[in-house]
Structure 1
Amino acid sequence: MTEQTAPLSPARPAAEVPALEVRAVSHAFGARKALDDVTLTVPAGSFTALLGPNGAGKTTLFSLVTRLYDNRSGAIHVLGADVRRRPAEALSRLGVVFQARTLDLELSVLDNLLYHATLHGISFGAGRRRALELLAQDGLAERARDKVRNLSGGQMRRVEIVRALMHRPRLLLLDEPTVGLDIASRAAVVALVRALVANEGIGVLWATHIIEEIVPGDRVVVLHRGRVRASGCYEEMLAHAGGEDLSAAFLALVGDAGETAP
């Protein structure tokens, strides 16, 4: 059930261009191969879960998509833009939330967002309006002038999502965004991102090892030891692996899921 994706072409209708298309991408750190011929697709307006244990290669893949690492094999397209050949165009179309927190704790919530807006060439006035609009939508308007260090872990993560949306991307990458959060905060973050998919048609790649965050109807890509083991919709995954639930299907696909990539 591993995906085979068709090459993008200028004649392809906009509605059919995936939010993210990764084709035959490999990456190594010295002798250790972190990704091995990875191919996956995130359709526009979809919630796609990248499911894999720690060490599966999820963060390496995100680093390649965001150009922190250079992909020297295969191809990566963000809404049709090749990240190597047209990096500025590709990066302008995506927002990213990494697992490690990257907000400046000594700045206010609003100043963190305005700094990000400046990096994307957004004027102060437009950035301020956009930031206050997004904070209001997320129920954080009253925290706009608070220092980030005074927020809870869940609130910090929600501010990072708001920051990723400042320049109106059409693809959102989230790398283990709920790690370390309590149950209520985790649910709030998941709900926020799912609402972006449902209401604004943003394509989401949600990297996680928490199976409970994936629900029927989601697209799922199982990554283990740097390779895509299976991909498809939730229901196809169950049928393919023969499990009664996604947890059983996942274990059937990866076997030794507790081990990290070599």
Structure 2
Amino acid sequence: MTATQAPLALCCDGVRKSFGGHAALDGVSLGVRRGEFVALLGPNGAGKTTLFQILSGLFVADAGRVTVMGSDMRRDPVSALAQLGIVFQQPAIDLDLPVLANLRFHADLHGLPRAVARQRIERLLDAFGLAGRARAPVRELSGGNRRKVELARALLHEPAVLLLDEPTAGLDPASRAQLVADARRLTAQARAGVLWATHLVQEVEHADRVIVLDRGGVRFDGTPAALRGVAERDSLESAFLALTPPPSDNPARRTVPA
């Protein structure tokens, strides 16, 4: 079964969220299938982080529904969250603990037997090229390697869906490219669906699908090639800019179908 034939692992239907009368999300609907790498592309302030906070159970939507592998985030959050791996925009890892201790702690939180956890940790550290730094405090690692530890931690319990919110923030270009490549390779092997939020167009070139989010609404959902086509642009960057102009240039926001 290909990713496009697989059932939805993550489903977001008509999600709305407002803060002080401002609509941060205005009826967002999207889906991610297992084995599918979906890029959520949007300018700063588009609503990406608010959406991820709802998808990860940190915020409750004002309206709409989120399900993960059929489990409703509002009605059965334990089952839904158990199927998620998450890398937040802000690093969320103990810098003073060694890499190995951070991963073991996460395995314990998910109730993984020690023998299973040991095998998975060894495999993931080897896959990320971090086996030699397993006993080093995270603080001693480069920014790119710290993010690799967070990605390994998110994959440790073999989630159905991986959420990554601006995971390359603060990294140099080489580290960004390496993290994207590692995420694509390892999540494909694990048959996990990926929702990768970014404002960097170069990170979405090889995504299976691109969802453009702007001012709380979905403006496009389709392949990178289709995005270029509907915007009648030669590059993804110019197509993205055409769909997300500044507010003064876009009094009537438009949604472009795939």
Residue of structure 1 aligned with 2:172, choices 182, 206, 209: 182
Q: Which residue of 2 aligns with 1:131?
A: 121
Name the CA distance, whole Å, in 2 between partners of 1:24 and 1:222: 16
Q: Which residue of 1 aligns with 2:89?
A: 99
For residue 69 of structure 1, give the secondary structure of its aligned residue in structure 2. coil
Deviation at 1:199, TM superposition (A): 2.5
Q: In the superposition, relative to structure 1, how do residues 217 and 157 fare at CA in structure 2: closer, same or farther (>3 Å)?
A: closer
Per-residue CA deviation, residues 179-207 of structure 1 (Å, 9 max, x unaligned), is 11112211110111110243332110000
Q: Which residue of 2 aligns with 1:60?
A: 50
Name the CA distance, whole Å, in 2 between partners of 1:43 and 1:233: 14
TM-score (norm 2): 0.90
Residue of structure 1 aligned with 2:16, choices 20, 26, 40: 26
Pairwise mapping of residues 151-190 of structure 1 onto structure 2 (< 5 A)? 151-190=141-180
Gaps of 5+ in 2: 250-258
Name the CA distance, whole Å, in 2 between partners of 1:101 and 1:198: 24
CA-based RMSD of the aligned residues comes to: 1.7
Deviation at 1:209, TM superposition (A): 0.4
Equivalent pair of 1:17/1:80 in contact (CA under 8 Å): no
Deviation at 1:119, TM superposition (A): 1.1
Q: Which residue of 1 aligns with 2:199?
A: 209
Pairwise mapping of residues 207-246 of structure 1 onto structure 2 (< 5 A)? 207-216=197-206, 218-246=208-236
Q: Which residue of 2 aligns with 1:72?
A: 62
Deviation at 1:102, TM superposition (A): 0.8
Gaps of 5+ in 1: 1-14
Aligned residues: 245
Name the CA distance, whole Å, in 2 between partners of 1:93 and 1:121: 13
Deviation at 1:257, TM superposition (A): 7.7
Deviation at 1:121, TM superposition (A): 1.3
Deviation at 1:130, TM superposition (A): 1.9
Q: In the superposition, relative to structure 1, how do residues 66 and 216 fare at CA in structure 2: closer, same or farther (>3 Å)?
A: closer
Stretches of 4+ aligned residues off by more than 4 angstroms: none
Moved more, 204-213 or 243-252: 243-252
Name the CA distance, whole Å, in 2 between partners of 1:198 and 1:257: 38
Deviation at 1:19, TM superposition (A): 2.0
Deviation at 1:258, TM superposition (A): 11
Pairwise mapping of residues 181-200 of structure 1 onto structure 2 (< 5 A)? 181-200=171-190
Q: In the superposition, relative to structure 1, how do residues 96 and 155 fare at CA in structure 2: closer, same or farther (>3 Å)?
A: same
Deviation at 1:217, TM superposition (A): 5.5
Name the CA distance, whole Å, in 2 between partners of 1:53 and 1:72: 23
Equivalent pair of 1:220/1:233 in contact (CA under 8 Å): yes
Moved more, 19-28 or 192-201: 192-201
Deviation at 1:225, TM superposition (A): 0.8
For residue 8 of structure 2, give the secondary structure of its aligned residue in structure 1. coil
